[in-house]
Amino acid sequence: MLALLGALIAPLTAGSAALSEQDADALIGRLAKPAPATISFTEVRFSKLLRAPLIVSGDLGYSGPESLDRRVTTPYREQTSIRGESVKVEREGEKPRSFALKHAPELRGLLSGFSAMLAGDPVALRKTFDVEMTGNDDGWTLKLTPTDTKARRRLQQIEVNGRHSEPRCFSMTTADGASSVLLLGAASAEPVAPDVTLIALQRRCGGSGQGS
Amino acid sequence: MKLTRPALLLLFLWLVLLAGLTWFVQRQLQVGTDLRLFLPSPTTPEQRLLLEEIGEGPASRVMVISLEGAEPEQLADASRTLVENLQSSPNFRLVTNGDISLDSVPDELLAYRYLLSPTLDERPLDQKYLHSELQERARDLASPAGAFLEPWLPRDPTLELLKVLQRWQPMQEPNRLFDVWFDQEGKRALLLAQTRAAAFDPDQQRLAVEQLNAEAERLKGDDVTLTFSGAGKFSVMMEERTRDEATALGTAATVGMIILLLIAYRRIGSVILSALPLASAGLAGLAAVSALFGTVHGITLAFGFTLIGVAQDYPIHLLSHRHATRSPVEAARELWPTLATGVASTCIAYVTFLFSGVIGLAQLACFTVAGLAVAGLTTRFALPVLMDPEGRDFGESAWLGKVWQRMERLPRPRWAGVAAIALSIAAMVFAPQPMWESDLSKLTPVPKELLIQDQELRSELGTPDVRYLLVITAADTEYALQKLEELDEPLQKMVADGAISGYDHAARYVPTAEKQRQRQARLPEPATLRDDVDAAVEDTPFRPDVFEPFLADVEKARHLRLLTVDQLRDSPLGVSVEMLLTQHGDGNDKTAARTTALVTFSGVQDVSALERFAKAAGSGVTLLDTKNASETLVTNQRIKILWSLAVAAVLLAGVVTFALRRASRVYRVLAPMALTTLLIIGILQAAGVSMTLFHLIALILAAGLGLDYALFFEHAADDPMEQRRTLHALLVCSASTLMVFALLAMSSLPVLRALGLTVSIGVVSNFVLALLLTRPTPPPHGT
């Protein structure tokens, strides 16, 4: 049902023609931003364990290929720092929790996708992902599928939607069907309804939708 | 050389006897390498613990492995493969690389999380607690940790397993890259492997070492360099090196000896015959030790053969005293009082070692006494019968006569003796280094660079301070764990105060049965828990029906048999727990059964705080300063040996007095030996050497040689022919001994070097002094 709806909506919101590799690379090149870069985000996380999605917002600070900070400001404060192979999550009034990036392939996917895009480096991006690009300059979609089969067992796909040189949404789908959508920059400014559905969000991003 | 029928018969019987002894020895002899045989029996609990730890404690079985040379990720993969390979081998009990993740906990331990985690001590598993936990979990789920926590949440919404795993982490955790242990720089992956065999089981250890070498060879293909270190490797390595070097030096010495004897006597038959007493001595010594002790320490053998090397002198005396008008049997009879005095006094001196309380020394004494006695007796009663009565009479040698006369005329200034004594004492008093070496590690002379490497790897792994240990002795494991739980709070306070940076003990891994039972009793009934979960979920984003696995696990935990140390043994925690908790005595002997628990410390800053803590901890708790304990042990050993030596000296003087009867003769015989002992100590001290057990043994050997030289010089009457023969014998004896020990002094191994150097000095000094002091000053007009 979801997939069907997505498939119906997608052609309306974005051009369906796949871009050539050259065009895709040119577009990725335009996404480059000098580090350190900060961008506001709203993350909506869906899970089968949950009745309603979890919504948090804050900002992402990128200061190099191995260093990403995720600061949550609403509805509570939380700080995640990725340094090399280790991830540390700190929340107010709690003991910080550290774990290896290896345990969170989603995060590693996000980090490498993010790094490659902010570096405007299509070669690096293609090293870890199969890249497929559709749409045009006014509305494009990058589909990133991990090349490593082991990684694909956890992280199925990352979809990035954007306009011109500005990425608007990061949608990650894990192998067990859970997914989370990051609205970036201007896209994060609009409020998100507490009972928002994945489809509504994808629409807002202008993406083609899951499973199209 | 023609032999008479009775002589042939005797030779045949002798050889048969030797063959029989060889057979017996081969069947009986077991060579041990446990160095503790050379340490005195422990008198305090700390010393006992120390010896247990050194010899077969789990710590002594641990090898540290490092992998380097490739990219960290590749090293981490190699580390994981290595764990798999070694884990399935019979040589290793447990191999860990730090990779403890949620999935690494064995399934049968999972349900124990509610009994292992302290959560239930503070609060019940009720609606209020579940509600606050679920709210936390919702936040976790929205965080980057969410993805890997998500699959666990239905089973473990309070993340109890994570709490347990965090508790199990070392307080000072080694650096981790890609989830496995690395050094600080991230260049070497580190692993710990525990061998099945104790460190002093060289045959089994060799298998483990060989397997690691094979792994190193395999990894070389991937450009990964594997290095490993540990007591087991050292013992295998040192054994090999000692054996190689002893074989090389022994061969050189034997060849040298044969050449020397051929030059001296010019008859192959004589040389072969002269080897018979020594061979008999060796076999008799071996047979005696293996009959009395069963296991013979490798060091006993090495030293034993060195000590009975003196026996080679006995046939030399006989050969040099050959006489045209006297049959060898008569010559032997004439020499016997002197020879017997030497043999008897040396043997009696060695007997005192039997009572030194050091098993290795007792073995050595047994070996030497049996060996020397047999050598003496065969030289007196068997060898002369076989000897060719014809041969060169050294009494006719003109140049020996000249040498003797010149020696007689040598000045004998008393002041020189006084000065030598004064200088030696001055060296002992003023030498900057300690007179005695108290460092136990000097007994196992592992090359320094290897020890440094070992130490460095261990400190990278955050293995605990080797010097201070808290030892808790309890009747059984439960009492020990109880005491540890009591001590945990003051220990935490010490960490907070900065006296130590961390500690570890078994109760961190396994709670007492008492505590587990309490926690189990606090787990809610299924119906209550179900209601509480439903109520708690209500105003959280979670769906109400996802926590069924949680309900099932709690119900399972309510009926679990309590976790014991034995159950943990084969889990990744086995190494830690076993190092920290040792059960002694087997099930049959309940009275001897006891449990020793250790608290290890890391980053010790304030020793006095540790001492205060130990004092306040009550009975059964002692702070073990291993350095102190081992030094006390070595000091005890030395005191015992020195007492044995003192008694030996008195006995020896007694035997000599009994044999020689006149005070002036006794003085002349004993003076060179006493002065030489003093001189050797003086020279060693002046050269900056601290003395060890090995030097003491060498001193005794030198003293025995000195006694023999002096006895024979003294024995040589005024007959110039007899004087020449004696001189010839003593020259051959001292030259051969000097050659053997000078060779040993060239060894790269500190033990052999100590022995060689000490005895070499002793031979020269004894010879010169015996020559000068045992002959009365000749009348000024000469002979």
pLDDT of A49-86, one tens digit each? 998 899 999 998 888 777 888 999 988 899 998 887 77
Element holding B624 (H helix, E strand): strand B621-625
Q: How many helices (H) and strands (E) does chain A have?
A: 7, 11
Pick from B143, B181, B184 the residue to mutate for testing the A interface (most A CBs within 10 Å): B143
Quick check: is A131 in a domain? yes
Q: Is B654 on the interface with A (CB under 8 A)?
A: no
User: Which chain B residues touch A106 with a CB distance below 8 Å?
Assistant: 144, 147
When pLDDT is averaged across residues B165-174 and rounded to a whole number, the result is: 73
Quick check: is A161 in a domain? yes
Q: pLDDT-derived band of residue B764, with 50, 70 and 90 as boundaries?
A: very high
Quick check: is A6 in a domain? no
Q: How far is Cα A182 from Cα A55, in angstroms, rounded to an integer?
A: 10
Q: Is B149 on the interface with A (CB under 8 A)?
A: no
User: Which chain A residues touch B139 with a CB distance below 8 Å?
Assistant: 76, 78, 91
Task: Look at residue B777 in the predicted model and tell me its pLDDT.
Answer: 56
Q: How far is Cα B724 from Cα B717, in angstroms, rounded to an integer?
A: 10
The answer to whether residues B754 and B427 touch, using CB atoms and an 8 Å cutoff, is no
For residue B657, is it left (φ>0), alpha (ψ between -120 and 50) or beta? Answer: alpha
Q: Which residue of B has its CA nearest to A194?
A: B541
Q: How far is Cα B55 from Cα A125, in angstroms, rounded to an integer?
A: 57
Q: Is A42 on the interface with B (CB under 8 A)?
A: no
SS3 at position B291: helix
The answer to whether residues B82 and B215 touch, using CB atoms and an 8 Å cutoff, is yes
Q: pLDDT-derived band of residue B200, with 50, 70 and 90 as boundaries?
A: low
Structure tokens at B290: 């293996």
DSSP per-residue string spanning B156-205: -TT-HHHHHHHHHS-SSPPEEETTEEE-TTS-EEEEEEEESS-TT-HHHH
Q: How far is Cα B735 from Cα B726, in angstroms, rounded to an integer?
A: 14
Of A45, A85, A105, the CB nearest to B146: A45
- State the helix-helix crossing angle for B513-522 and B477-497, rounded to 10 degrees: 80
Give the ipTM: 0.84
The answer to whether residues B227 and B734 touch, using CB atoms and an 8 Å cutoff, is no
When pLDDT is averaged across residues B404-416 and rounded to a whole number, the result is: 81
Cβ-in-10-Å burial (0-12, 13-18, 19+) of B123 comes to exposed
Task: Look at residue B552 in the predicted model and tell me its pLDDT.
Answer: 92
Q: CA–CA distance from B677 to each of B300, B301, B698 (Å)?
A: 23, 24, 10
CB contact under 8 A, B144 and A89: yes
User: Which chain A residues touch B141 with a CB distance below 8 Å?
Assistant: 45, 47, 49-50, 54
Q: Shortest CA distance to B323 belongs to which of B391, B263, B378, B262?
A: B391
Across B54-68, B72-86, B237-251, B510-524, the highest mean pLDDT is recorded for B510-524
Q: How far is Cα A57 from Cα A70, in angstroms, rounded to an integer?
A: 10
User: Which chain A residues touch B179 with a CB distance below 8 Å?
Assistant: 100, 102-103
Task: Look at residue B675 in the predicted model and tell me its pLDDT.
Answer: 92
Of B145, B178, B179, the CB nearest to A97: B145
Count of Cβ atoms closer than 10 Å to residue A42 Cβ: 21
Task: Look at residue B558 in the predicted model and tell me its pLDDT.
Answer: 92
Beta bridge partners of A87: A82, A99
Beta bridge partners of B161: none
pLDDT at A207 over 60: no
Q: pLDDT-derived band of residue B765, with 50, 70 and 90 as boundaries?
A: very high
The answer to whether residues B536 and B127 touch, using CB atoms and an 8 Å cutoff, is yes
Pairing of strands B188-195, B92-96: antiparallel
CA angle B565, B570, B573 (to 5 degrees): 70
pLDDT at B682 over 90: yes
Cβ-in-10-Å burial (0-12, 13-18, 19+) of B418 comes to exposed
Q: How far is Cα B395 from Cα B730, in angstroms, rounded to an integer?
A: 13
Quick check: is A210 in a domain? no
Q: How far is Cα B545 from Cα B154, in angstroms, rounded to an integer?
A: 9
When pLDDT is averaged across residues B284-309 and rounded to a whole number, the result is: 83
CB contact under 8 A, B179 and A100: yes
- The sign of the torsion formed by the CA atoms of A9, A13, A15, A20 equals negative
Quick check: is A4 in a domain? no
When pLDDT is averaged across residues B331-345 and rounded to a whole number, the result is: 89
Q: How far is Cα B541 from Cα B539, in angstroms, rounded to an integer?
A: 7
Q: How far is Cα B134 from Cα B533, in angstroms, rounded to an integer?
A: 10
CB contact under 8 A, A87 and B144: yes
User: Which chain B residues touch A91 with a CB distance below 8 Å?
Assistant: 139, 143
Q: How far is Cα B302 from Cα B272, in angstroms, rounded to an integer?
A: 23
Of B153, B154, B179, the CB nearest to A102: B179
Structure confidence by residue, pLDDT tens digits, B32-48: 766 667 766 777 767 77
Q: How far is Cα B535 from Cα B555, in angstroms, rounded to an integer?
A: 19
pLDDT at B560 over 50: yes
- Cite the DSSP H helix spans in A55-193: 105-118, 122-128, 149-152, 186-189
Pairing of strands B30-32, B295-297: parallel
Structure confidence by residue, pLDDT tens digits, A46-58: 988 998 899 999 9
Structure confidence by residue, pLDDT tens digits, B723-759: 888 888 999 999 989 998 898 888 877 777 888 899 9
User: Which chain A residues touch B541 with a CB distance below 8 Å?
Assistant: 50-54
Q: Shortest CA distance to B112 belongs to which of B773, B557, B448, B542?
A: B557
Q: How far is Cα B551 from Cα B529, in angstroms, rounded to an integer?
A: 7
Q: How far is Cα B240 from Cα B228, in angstroms, rounded to an integer?
A: 17
Structure tokens at B471: 């030892």
Q: Is B103 on the interface with A (CB under 8 A)?
A: no
The contacts of residue B692 (CB under 8 Å, 6+ apart) are: B436, B437, B442, B443, B754
Q: Is B177 on the interface with A (CB under 8 A)?
A: yes
Domains annotated on chain B, with CATH: 1-32+267-392 (1.20.1640.10), 400-430+662-783 (1.20.1640.10)
Count of Cβ atoms closer than 10 Å to residue A130 Cβ: 13
Give the closest-approach CA distance of A29 to chain B in angstroms.
Answer: 27
State the total domains in chain A. Answer: 1
Quick check: is A65 in a domain? yes
C-alpha distance across the termini of chain A, in Å: 11
Q: How far is Cα A46 from Cα B709, in angstroms, rounded to an integer?
A: 98
Task: Look at residue B288 in the predicted model and tell me its pLDDT.
Answer: 92
The answer to whether residues B457 and B226 touch, using CB atoms and an 8 Å cutoff, is no
CB contact under 8 A, B144 and A50: no
The domain containing residue A38 runs over which residues?
Answer: 14-205
Q: How far is Cα B558 from Cα B570, in angstroms, rounded to an integer?
A: 24
Task: Look at residue B621 in the predicted model and tell me its pLDDT.
Answer: 87
Structure confidence by residue, pLDDT tens digits, B579-633: 788 777 654 555 567 788 888 887 788 889 989 998 888 888 888 887 788 788 7
Task: Look at residue B758 in the predicted model and tell me its pLDDT.
Answer: 92
Count of Cβ atoms closer than 10 Å to residue B221 Cβ: 7
The answer to whether residues B223 and B78 touch, using CB atoms and an 8 Å cutoff, is no
Structure tokens at B40: 């005195």
Task: Look at residue A3 in the predicted model and tell me its pLDDT.
Answer: 41
Work out the percent of chain A whose per-residue pLDDT is above 90: 8
The answer to whether residues A86 and A101 touch, using CB atoms and an 8 Å cutoff, is yes
**Which CATH number characterizes residue A72's domain?**
2.50.20.10
Element holding A100 (H helix, E strand): strand A97-100
Structure confidence by residue, pLDDT tens digits, B487-539: 999 999 998 998 888 888 888 888 999 999 999 999 999 999 999 999 999 88
Residue B526 DSSP one-character state:
H
Q: How far is Cα B507 from Cα B150, in angstroms, rounded to an integer?
A: 31
Structure tokens at B693: 């057990």
User: Which chain A residues touch B147 with a CB distance below 8 Å?
Assistant: 104-107, 154, 174, 178
When pLDDT is averaged across residues B224-236 and rounded to a whole number, the result is: 86
When pLDDT is averaged across residues A91-109 and rounded to a whole number, the result is: 76
Q: How far is Cα B545 from Cα B81, in angstroms, rounded to an integer?
A: 41
Task: Look at residue B580 in the predicted model and tell me its pLDDT.
Answer: 82
Q: CA–CA distance from B678 to each of B43, B423, B685 (Å)?
A: 32, 10, 11
Q: Is A174 on the interface with B (CB under 8 A)?
A: yes
For chain A positions 181-200, those within 8 Å of chain B (CB to CB) are: none
Structure confidence by residue, pLDDT tens digits, A138-173: 888 888 888 887 777 778 888 888 888 888 888 888
Backbone angles phi, psi at B478, to 5 degrees: -60, -45
Give the closest-approach CA distance of B103 to chain A in angstroms.
Answer: 11
Mean pLDDT of chain B: 83
User: Which chain A residues touch B143 with a CB distance below 8 Å?
Assistant: 72, 78, 80, 89, 91
CB contact under 8 A, A51 and B543: yes
Quick check: is A183 in a domain? yes
For residue A10, is it left (φ>0), alpha (ψ between -120 and 50) or beta? Answer: alpha
When pLDDT is averaged across residues B676-701 and rounded to a whole number, the result is: 87
